[in-house]
Amino acid sequence: MDDTNKRNMNVTGVKGAKAAGPESEPLIRLEGISKGFEYDSSPIQILKDASLSIQQGESIAVVGESGIGKSTLLHILGTLDKPDSGQFFFRGKNVFDMEKTRLASFRNTTIGFVFQFHYLLAEFTSLENVMMPGLIAGMPKNRIKPEAEAILVRVGLKERLSHRVNDLSGGEQQRVALARALVLKPRILLADEPTGNLDIRNSIQVHDFLMQLNEEMQMTMVVVTHNMKLARCMQRCMTIQDGKLVDMDNK
Ligand SMILES: Nc1ncnc2c1ncn2[C@@H]1O[C@H](COP(=O)(O)OP(=O)(O)OP(=O)(O)O)[C@@H](O)[C@H]1O
Ligand SMILES: [Mg+2]
């Protein structure tokens, strides 16, 4: 299937995306989301009444200029930040109605997050960093360790398992962050510039890996990227215009 066909296919016909009947609830539904910040005592409005529905297994690229609100959107989708107004439904349930500890556990087990700035634990090894979400979720060490090793091998870091993160290159750190986001096989992957620090060879590797995960596991993904090659491989490509999410017709 060429890129044009992939882009034009309806969600229900896309390989990797679950068929959605007319009354079936999307995996994620954002409704009328607004978010602003205060800067030097003046308000700046970033998202304005933005809405978005995401089906299970869908892959979405979010592209566009610096400062339009891509990371802001991702933080809201990741439940790391609350919108000023609007609703966020996960399988029809209002996420922000969840009690704090339930929300934290939902976030840890359902969402894998690759941040623009990776926030790895610098003094710990790659393996320890990738094991961390499992340990936080209460998994025994001997169960999470082989999972963490396997995912590090898949992102091409077989030889760097016991390196301290501080001693890794920027691109290697970014791949550790990706492995950490994926180790619990989350239903949703939110990635903010996952190939931003990578050379062409490594960015192709990461990019192929994301596509495989989308196909194999029906992993739903929203990826913020400036890499148009990566964006073109996603089923939908969106941007933010006047604070609203819009589909891009011509990628
Ligand atoms: N905590 C904050 N306080 C004040 N302003 C903020 C805050 N977070 C974000 N902003 C502002 O909101 C706007 C959108 O930021 P955001 O990080 O979402 O942009 P972006 O599209 O991800 O940009 P980039 O491509 O550079 O990463 C920016 O102008 C930013 O300065
Ligand atoms: Mg950003």
- pLDDT, tens digit, 9 for 90 and up, residues 23-55: 578 999 999 999 999 988 889 999 999 999 999
Sign of the dihedral through C-alpha 203, 206, 209, 210: negative
Surrounding ion ligand 2 within 5 Å at CB are 71, 116
pLDDT digits (tens, 9 = 90+) for 162-212: 999 999 988 899 899 999 999 999 999 999 998 887 888 888 888 888 888
Look up residue 11 and give its amino acid.
V
Residue 181: partners with Cβ closer than 8 Å, 6 or more residues away: 112, 113, 114, 189, 191
Strand partners, 54: 28
- CATH class of the domain whose range is 3-9+27-120+172-247: alpha beta
* H/E stretch holding 14: none
Ligand nearest to the CA of 66: 1
Domain ranges of the chain: 3-9+27-120+172-247
Instruction: Tell me the best of 34, 71, 74 to mutate to test the pocket of ligand 1, counting ligand atoms within 8 Å of each CB and taking the most.
Output: 71
User: Which numbered atom of ligand 1 lies nearest the CA of 116?
Assistant: 27
More confident residue, 24 or 132: 132
Rounded distance between C-alpha atoms, residue 60 and residue 46, angstroms = 20
The overall average pLDDT reported for the chain is: 88
Predicted local confidence at residue 250, as pLDDT: 56
Nearest CA to ligand 1 atom 3: 37
Q: Is the CB of 119 under 6 A from ligand 1?
A: no
CA of 192 to the centre of ligand 2 (A): 7
Do 223 and 191 contact (CB within 8 A), yes or no?
yes
Residues 18-43 as b/e (b if ≥16 CB within 10 A, e otherwise) read bebeeeeebbbbbeebebbeeeeeee
Predicted local confidence at residue 23, as pLDDT: 55
